[in-house]
Amino acid sequence: MQPDTYIAPVGQAQASQVIKNSRFIGTAQGAEDADAAQGCIAELRSRYPDASHHAWAYRVGVERALTAFSDDGEPGGTAGRPILAVLEGSGLSNTVVVVTRYFGGTKLGAGGLVRAYSGTASLVLAELSRAEYAHHQIIRLPLDYAQHPHAVYLASQLGVPILETAFKEHVELVLAVRPNQADVLQQALGEVGVYGLDWPALLEAERYLPL
C-alpha cells in the first residue's frame, strides 16, 4: 500500500571517528533507487581509493522498500548488516549509508567491528538533514479568466501548491493536491462557479513532494 508520507534525506552528510587507529568515515545521502545508491557508493570509492573497506547499506523505494548491504571484505555480518540495522531504525526512506574504513593496524574483533560500523552510521545519520515528503495528485485545472483569481485564492486558503500557470484561450493551473484535499477543493471550486469537473481526467501524475 502506498504510504501518505515518508521521510528522506536532504543533501549529504559526513561524520567520522577513530577507533584504535582505524579511521571510519560515514557518508549518508538520498537515493531514489538502487542505481542512484550504487552511484553514490562508486563515487565514494573514487573519492577514497586507498581505503581498506567501503561497507554500505541502502533502503530505497516507498511503496515497497528494497534493502541491500555489503561488508566489502570485512568478516560477514560485522559491517553492512549493522549499518542497515541503524538505517532501518532511523525511519528514513530512499537513503544510502557508506562507512569507509582506513585500517589502523589493530584488529577490532567481530564485536568491535559491529560497534564501529553501527556507531559511525548513527553518527552520520544524526548529522543528516531530512524532509517529509507527501503523496500528491498533480491536477491540470482549466478555468475561465474570470474564475482564475477565485481558484488561486482557494488554493492558497487550502494550502494547495500551484506548480504552474498557463495563460491561453483559457487559464490552466497545475495543482499539487493531497488526496484528502481533493473533495474539499472540488466543493470549494463549485461554490465559485467551477462545476462538473471530471477529476480523474484532470489527473496528470502522482508524485511525492516535500512538505
Positions of the chain with pLDDT lower than 70, given as ranges: 1
Residue closest to 179 by CA, chosen among 134, 126, 148, 121 = 134
Cell of 47: 573519492
CB proximity list for 190: less than 8 A, separation 6 or greater? none
Q: To which CATH superfamily is domain 5-127 assigned?
A: Impact, N-terminal domain (3.30.230.30)
- CATH class, domain 135-210, is alpha beta
- Where are the alpha helices (H) located in the chain, listed in sequence order? 34-47, 80-90, 109-127, 148-158, 182-191, 199-202
- Contact between 80 and 98 under an 8 Å Cβ cutoff? The reply is no
Identify the pLDDT of residue 7: 96
pLDDT in tens, 33-69: 999 999 999 999 999 999 999 999 999 998 889 999 9
Cell of 148: 482564475
Identify the pLDDT of residue 1: 64
Cell of 109: 574483533
Domain boundary assignment for the chain: 5-127, 135-210
